[in-house]
Amino acid sequence: MELVIASNNSGKIKEISTALRSFPLAIRQLSEFPRLPPIVEDQKTFEGNALKKARSISQFIGKLTLADDSGLIVPHLKGQPGIYSARYAGPQATDEENNQKLLQELQEVTGEARQAIFTCYLALVHPSGQERVIKGECEGMIATELQGRYGFGYDPLFFIPSLQKTMAQLSLAEKMQWSHRGQALSQLKEILPEFLERPS
């Protein structure tokens, strides 16, 4: 069966594809469907955005679709960057620009006030209408400087105290064990078989 990953983020696609490689799936990317209309992520929650993407694409293409909406929540910043994590420093912001803005916002902040949560919502939608939403989370702290060369997004700033490493200092295998997306994908693998049994 084909599975469309509703993302243009190469880092997300790599992590999802790696996690699901044991399943009889042909992974398809959005770039393979140039006629797909743009989807505006205008929902107020991660779950809402993930569901909107998965439903819209599954209905348009007629294939099993997996959408991921993830982000960083910093309680001290009233939940920011939140659903705007990818465009925290502006609509076309780079990872570097987003990270630098976060460091600037927390410049005078120390200790427990630098706590943060990485959250991931996965929405799996079958053309028949069957759907599931799964949530994964990882708690950590915001480091005072970028550390590590792996991963993407806020990984170089997301410090995991029990490991004494940032997410960007972990191998892909380690990251999948600890990260918010890794937690969500572990749950996804448990329910995926029931979707694969349905006729497409």
Q: Which residues are catalytic?
A: 69
Distance CA 29, CA 128 (A): 20
- The burial of 17, by beta-carbon neighbours within 10 Å (0-12 exposed, 13-18 middle, 19 or more buried), is given as middle
Distance CA 178, CA 102 (A): 22
Spatial strand order of the sheet with 131-142 comes to 26-29, 2-5, 64-73, 115-125, 131-142, 158-160, 165-166
Distance CA 178, CA 95 (A): 21
